[in-house]
Amino acid sequence: MAGGRGALIVLEGMDRAGKSTQSRRLVQALQAAGHRADLLRFPERTTEIGRLIGAYLSRERELEDHVVHLLFSANRWEHVTSMKEKLHQGITLVVDRYAFSGVAFTSAKENFCLEWCKQPDVGLPKPDLILFLQLSPEEAAARGNFGRERYENGPFQKKVLQSFHHLMNEKTLNWKTMDASKSIEDLHREIKTVAEKTMQEVKDKPLGELWK
Ligand code: T5A
Ligand code: NA
């Protein structure tokens, strides 16, 4: 393919770290610089599965913990065909949360191990870059709207952070930790620089499979 494939770039981090803000800014900046880039987010709440997840998160409905975990994973799998098509057409995908959130949140619950949590997402397109937006729970709580949805409480968030640290120790994945306490603009500039470098590096490399 002439221009090569697009990069799969994931933003992860604690709630309120600025993942959605930075994902949007990155896609806009890449497009403005003449790159082809699209924004994705998980959960993608517009599908049937996504609406069920949305109702669970807003506490409109209860679901058994294993069921919710598998639904979050299914919500990623239902987008895999279109993700692969876009990447192979040379479109870079910026993804607001991915399988790492899935594993970190469920494994923070009682009686869930990391290995069980990873299985449903094994084989998803493997990110070329995972940016972990780091922010202390105190700084996160000081940002808007914290505490309305399920999972948005301090003790649970601390367990989620521990799970993320376990996942970040895996050297087969390209994690980069970013200081999310910086201003939106400063953080954006840093993210754009690493993203463009990754896009250049992976364009002639095959797309990998996650945790395989
Ligand atoms: N989940 C998710 C699972 O359990 N399993 C899964 O598989 C997946 C994918 C929903 C929940 O689902 C869980 C994790 C979550 O609990 P969501 O819809 O992504 O996930 O959550 P949201 O509530 O939409 O987003 P977050 O709380 O994670 O926030 P963001 O996206 O990190 O932060 P953002 O950009 O919305 O910013 C938050 C606020 O801070 C300000 C913004 O203006 C905004 O007001 N802000 C800054 N302020 C100062 N300095 C900066 N640098 C700032 N950047 C942003
Ligand atoms: Na978000």
Give pLDDT tens digits for 13-61: 988 999 999 999 999 999 999 999 999 999 999 999 999 999 999 999 9
Mean pLDDT of the chain: 95
Mean pLDDT for 76-95 is 98
Our answer on whether the CB atom of 26 is closer than 6 Å to any ligand 1 atom is no
- By C-alpha distance, which of 145, 125, 143 is closest to 135? 143
pLDDT of 120 higher than 80: yes
- Convert the chain into a string of H (helix), E (strand) and C (coil): CCCCCCCEEEEEECCCCCHHHHHHHHHHHHHHCCCCEEEEECCCCCCHHHHHHHHHHCCCCCCCHHHHHHHHHHHHHCCHHHHHHHHHCCCEEEEECCHHHHHHHHHCCCCCCHHHHHHHHCCCECCCEEEEEECCHHHHHCCCCCCCCCCCCHHHHHHHHHHHHHHHCCCCCCEEEEECCCCHHHHHHHHHHHHHHHHHHHCCCCCCECCC
Residue 141 CA to residue 103 CA, distance in Å, equals: 22
pLDDT of 198 higher than 80: yes
pLDDT of 1 higher than 80: no
- Least confident range from 124-128, 145-149, 182-186: namely 145-149
Work out the percent of the chain whose per-residue pLDDT is above 90: 86
The pLDDT, as a whole number, for residue 144 is 74
Distance 109 CA to ligand 1 centre (A): 20
Peptide bond into 43 cis (omega under 30): yes
Mean pLDDT for 82-99 is 98
Our answer on whether the CB atom of 20 is closer than 6 Å to any ligand 1 atom is yes
Evaluate whether the domain defined by 8-210 bears CATH number 3.40.50.300: yes
| Other Cβ atoms within 10 Å of 97 Cβ, number | 23
Contact 61, 13 (CB under 8 A): no
Mean pLDDT for 152-167 is 91
- Convert 76-98 into a string of H (helix), E (strand) and C (coil): HHCCHHHHHHHHHCCCEEEEECC
The pLDDT, as a whole number, for residue 141 is 81
Structure-block tokens of residue 129: 């870059």
Pairing assessment for the beta strands 8-13 and 37-41 based on DSSP bridges: unpaired
- Strand order from edge to edge, sheet including 37-41: 37-41, 92-96, 8-13, 129-134, 175-179
Q: Tokens 């997402």 belong to which residue? A: 121
Q: Say what the pTM is.
A: 0.97
pLDDT of 119 higher than 70: yes
The pLDDT, as a whole number, for residue 3 is 85
Give pLDDT tens digits for 135-155: 987 888 888 766 678 888 888
ipTM > 0.95, yes or no? yes
The pLDDT, as a whole number, for residue 2 is 58
Residue 11 CA to residue 180 CA, distance in Å, equals: 11
Mean pLDDT for 108-134 is 98
Distance 87 CA to ligand 2 centre (A): 23
Contact 125, 98 (CB under 8 A): no
Residue whose CB lies within 8 A of the most ligand 1 atoms, among 131, 134, 143, for a mutation test: 143
**Ligand nearest 43 Cα, by number?**
1
CA-closest residue to ligand 1 atom 17: 43
Give pLDDT tens digits for 70-79: 999 999 999 9
CA-closest residue to ligand 1 atom 3: 102
Ordered by start, the domain boundaries in the chain are 8-210
Residue 90 CA to residue 160 CA, distance in Å, equals: 34
